[in-house]
Structure 1
Amino acid sequence: MVLRRAPHPVGLAVALFFFAQSMTPSLLPRVWYLQGVATGISVATGYGLGCLVAWILRRCGVQPQWSATTRRYGWWVLAAVAVVVIPTFLVLGSWWQQIVRELVGLERLERLLYLPVLPVAVLVALVLIAMARILRFGVVWLSALSARFMPDGVAKVAAIVVVVVLLVVIFDHGLYRGILSVAEGSAAASDHGTADGVNRPAAPERSGSPDSFEDWDTLGREGRTFVAGGPTADEIADATGEPALTPIRAYVGKESADTVAEGAERVVAELERAGAFERSVVAVVTTTGRGWVNENVAGALEFVSGGDSAIAAMQYSFLPSPLAFLADRETPQDAGRALFDAVYERWDELPEDARPKLVVFGESLGSYGGQAAFASGDSIVELTDGALLVGTPNFAEPWGRITEGRDEGSFERLPVVDGGRNIRFASVPDDADLPAEWELPRVVFWQHASDPITWWSFDLILHKPDWLREPLGPDVDPGMRWIPFVTFWQVTLDMVFSAEVPDGHGHSYGVDAVDLWADILPPSGWSSDDTIRVREALSGRSQNAELQATAE
């Protein structure tokens, strides 16, 4: 029976090494079951690599003839090493996780909770190894069958091709599309709901209000939350000590338009209706997949601008960002281009001395989609009056080209571009303070050293990135190391709860947005005291929202 075949000792030895390495720290703390999955995948990968090396050596004629006694001693040595290594690295892994939790501001957990890592890892590894053996058996069986009708070499190649094609059909047209179909249906149904405590706005400055062209019910769950939220004119005035306006929030849901181009046109119509082009700042934001906008980033802009602002956004998918990206990588970019182009076209029609400042922002998949409107960093500087791009995924452009072309000697996690003349990178606001004069327009890429969304890449499988060659960020465990294959799966699993950590770490971006907007759009007479008061006001709003959600 193919599943009963004895394990290969070389495969087990390499698997044991990968087990130990998988317990080392990465960017964020992992709950025990995610650590178990990461470890299980790493163990299966190590076993497969060990078997591959042994197979290659055999094909090269290296076939040691060990005696039965030597083999028996070898198994005993391997077992003894495993008895030492496995519990040792389980203990070390739980200790490392406590250190990572402290670095990102989380409380310590009982280390005994880490014990289930081992059974989960073993189960995951056994399932993956069993699947690999079944595939190998399928290739061998098909090859033997085909060899009756064609040369042996051709039969082996044909068998491999058939198995690969079957896998693609099963996973792409079966599991993958089936899961996405179910997820999209569920997400679309959920989109009709409204979060607790969210009520239809009465202010004409908001989409979905009685004066709006957009029906409240068409905005989607995240859209309704967005237009119903944000600081009021009184709250802004209390924080800044200056008269304030009610900020404009224009939003169009996916149900309102058949295409992203039509949705963008409807957003512009909402901006026109609300008088957005008479404000001092118009911001174009590309949302995440299901239409989410970071309230901290949006609210900070409204506080800093004294409410004399308008934010334009639209929903382009029902799916959360990870699934939206897997399902369709083009639509976020199409939406980002369509919305910016539509707003820019209307803005460009205004007399130069009557134009509001035009800025862009977006987070995560929103940053990825929003950047599609620009060919380069210079293009962002040329076409806008500023930008705040948050938690940018590693596959986004022009972020990738800008990072790659950074000034010599600057770090990948905090690049310096052209001395920081217009474009700057920051993990915390002070990172944006460089010796060179910061000219207008100002662009900030806001990214945390511990954000796996920014640093995840398929290149991690076999390539050590610069951000792991250079000094690590202050909230990343100094013990993090790059290990082929292992680091990729560690960072992949880090992404699952990357936003469930305190602000300032991982993929959680909070009130530091106030400092960054004050840098990008420096208000006349603005002081550090103003920044402190606005940070406190914005933080208070966030805490109240969390308390209300908990109570409900």
Structure 2
Amino acid sequence: MDAVDGADAPQDVNPEPHRSRARERAVAYLGRISYSGLAVATAFLWFSATPSLLPRGPLFQGIVSGAAAAVGYCLGAFFAWLVRFMLSRDRRWPSPPWYLWAALGVIFAVGTSVMFYWYSVWQTEIRSLMKVDQLSWTAYPLIIVVSVVVFVLLMVIGQLWAALVVWSVRKLNRFAPPRISAVAGATVIVLITVFILNGVVANYSMKWLNASFAAANDETDATTSAPTTTVRSGGPGSLVTWGSLGREGRRFVANGPDVQQLSAFNGAPAMEPIRAFVGLGSGNDLRANATLAADELVRAGGLDRAVVAIGSATGSGWLNKATVDSLEYMYNGNVATVSMQYSYLPSWLSFLVDSERARQAGSALFEAVDARIQQLPEGRRPKVVVFGESLGSFGAEAAFGTVPTVVARTNGALFVGPTFNNQLWSDATAARDPGSPQVLPIYDDGRHVRFIADASDLNRPDTPWLDPRVVYLQHASDPIAWWSPRLILNEPEWLKEEHGRDVLGAMTWMPFVTFLQVSADMAVSVNVPDGHGHNYLSAIPYSWADILQPPGWTQDKTERLLPLLHRD
């Protein structure tokens, strides 16, 4: 009985040994924290609050700050280790005394408070400039929370990765000298990491993304219905079915101004605009789809129109409505527009992983349509223009190896929001006239090509503008144009020169940090009003009017047209 009672009685468990071990582990972990790493992380944290191209809300500011601090920590810790290694491989270096840690803590607290003040000043300035809502006080606690979470997460990932390297080096030390095993161990872990990210994570992620966006591509808006006219793809007599067009293709052929709207605007009987489109539902062979799109254009009577507009879409088939609608109003419907889909992915994803398909699709579509037009007698050929926005501008350039080739093979071109990958845009910018800035270059004295940020730049420079005319519409604050991996270690020309009209003068380049800032700007590039970031609308009709100079069209008509235009 006593034994049973003794078994049931509370045991005398002393928690102190467990607490002591926990304290020892915590002290040991803190002892491994790099003082130099934290010092540089603090500086990078402050740098991350400086302004970039667009307003940053608390979520993206927190991500940028946490990531910048993590990068700073890694750099500080690495260079501190490198200095110690170069001075002595055997010497045991003492930890910084407590008062240095205390000083760093005070500097961090004071400096971060100052950082928040200047962050508020800069955000107020850029938000006023772009006419977006100001930040509320709740943004600042959220920035702190997100920054800490991102910093800790990246640090844990980095430490786990470093632990794998150390483990592999120790294993290899049994078979090779320390220096060889160190290099080999690090190389093995790097290769395994790359294989996992590229071969496993990226592969399965892309399959999942394609499946998800393919399902979205099959959806049809409730307000969109199949056309009942023969001049639209998916309608009666069309070579492609309504269901094959994809969501964006169905929007494209079902929308736009009708004959009544065009007639009322222009005060004269209008023609019904032709819109030809081929989606991925017709197959995955880009060249075959381009041929089908050209055949569909011919079937609908597109070669009999005054203008044939060849549009390079973004990945999912999206086209800026304002770009197409403007042409149809200017020519009172006497226009045929043709385009095709080449991906299920939205523009930003296609930009990162599918840009080669954009190039192939743009080139194939232009060549297929141009081949049909060249078969006509020269006097019967319509005007041919090309256009594209964002990744679409990259695809629209693809059929032309040089800027003079665009001039030679078309009657005009409008490239909106070019990406940093656009080859012709990069070539023309690099060959700009001396004294003209990178954000708004003057190329070949503006003879055929003009770079503009708004309609007022169409007259820049004040020299004759010869036909055919090409316009690059770009904003100084558009991160899609100015992002580049080179931002990590190289200061771009557009930050060395006088900043663009909607970029704060306080924006300065800092290694790693500016790259993170502009990367975050890309994610919110369309969340700003027209005229800023990657949001293009009001300059489009002015550009088309100057490129094509439609008969009877006036600036007054352009101003009346503006309220009727929308991007989506």
Normalised by the length of structure 1, the TM-score is: 0.94
Question: What residue is the counterpart of 1:231 in the other structure?
Answer: 257
Show CA shifts across 1:108-135 (max 9, x none). Answer: 2313323211121111111112222222
Contact 2:243 2:281 in 1 (8 A): no
Is 1:16–2:45 an aligned residue pair? no
Contact 2:57 2:135 in 1 (8 A): no
Is 1:463–2:490 an aligned residue pair? yes
Is 1:387–2:416 an aligned residue pair? no
1:38: Cα distance to partner?
Answer: 0.8
Which sits farther off after the overlay, 233-242 or 125-134?
233-242
Question: What residue is the counterpart of 2:505 in the other structure?
Answer: 478
Question: What residue is the counterpart of 1:219 in the other structure?
Answer: 245
Take 1:71 and 1:432, find their aligned partners in 2: how far apart are those partners?
63
- Classify the secondary structure of the residue corresponding to 1:60: helix
Which sits farther off after the overlay, 317-326 or 185-194?
317-326
Contact 1:227 1:249 in 2 (8 A): yes
- Classify the secondary structure of the residue corresponding to 2:316: coil
Which sits farther off after the overlay, 122-131 or 376-385?
122-131
Q: From the CA coordinates, give the structure whose radius of gyration is larger.
A: 2
Larger RCO, structure (CA 8 Å, separation 6 or more): 1
- Classify the secondary structure of the residue corresponding to 2:87: coil
Match for residue 310 of structure 1 among 299, 317, 336: 336
What is the RMSD of the two structures over their aligned residues, measured on CA atoms? 1.8
- Classify the secondary structure of the residue corresponding to 2:135: coil
- Classify the secondary structure of the residue corresponding to 2:338: strand
Match for residue 476 of structure 2 among 445, 449, 452: 449
Question: What residue is the counterpart of 1:27 in the other structure?
Answer: 53
Question: What residue is the counterpart of 1:253 in the other structure?
Answer: 279
Take 2:135 and 2:86, find their aligned partners in 1: how far apart are those partners?
50
- Mapping of residues 17-416 of structure 1, within 5 Å: 17-61=43-87, 71-416=97-442
- Classify the secondary structure of the residue corresponding to 2:138: helix
Take 1:413 and 1:167, find their aligned partners in 2: how far apart are those partners?
38
Show CA shifts across 1:364-385 (max 9, x none). Answer: 1111112111101111111111
Show CA shifts across 1:126-167 (max 9, x none). Answer: 111222222222112211211211222221121112101110
- Classify the secondary structure of the residue corresponding to 2:533: coil
Is 1:497–2:520 an aligned residue pair? no
Take 1:186 and 1:165, find their aligned partners in 2: how far apart are those partners?
30
Structure 1 letter corresponding to 2:104: L
1:32: Cα distance to partner?
Answer: 0.9
Take 2:335 and 2:452, find their aligned partners in 1: how far apart are those partners?
24
- Classify the secondary structure of the residue corresponding to 1:222: helix
Take 1:395 and 1:16, find their aligned partners in 2: how far apart are those partners?
34
Take 2:73 and 2:355, find their aligned partners in 1: how far apart are those partners?
34
Take 1:461 and 1:242, find their aligned partners in 2: how far apart are those partners?
56
Unaligned stretches of 5+ in structure 1? 546-552
Structure 2 letter corresponding to 1:10: S
- Classify the secondary structure of the residue corresponding to 1:516: helix
- Classify the secondary structure of the residue corresponding to 1:375: coil
Take 1:398 and 1:150, find their aligned partners in 2: how far apart are those partners?
52
1:56: Cα distance to partner?
Answer: 1.9
Take 2:488 and 2:403, find their aligned partners in 1: how far apart are those partners?
28
Which sits farther off after the overlay, 414-423 or 369-378?
369-378
Question: What residue is the counterpart of 2:549 in the other structure?
Answer: 522
Structure 1 letter corresponding to 2:508: R
Contact 1:239 1:537 in 2 (8 A): no
Structure 2 letter corresponding to 1:89: M
Take 1:405 and 1:234, find their aligned partners in 2: how far apart are those partners?
46
Show CA shifts across 1:158-192 (max 9, x none). Answer: 11121011101211122222211111101001111
1:482: Cα distance to partner?
Answer: 0.8
Normalised by the length of structure 2, the TM-score is: 0.92
- Classify the secondary structure of the residue corresponding to 1:408: coil
Percent identity of paired positions between Structure 1 and Structure 2: 41
| Structure 1 segments (4+ residues) deviating >4 Å | 1-5, 62-68
Structure 2 letter corresponding to 1:225: R
Unaligned stretches of 5+ in structure 2? 1-24
Take 2:239 and 2:281, find their aligned partners in 1: how far apart are those partners?
14
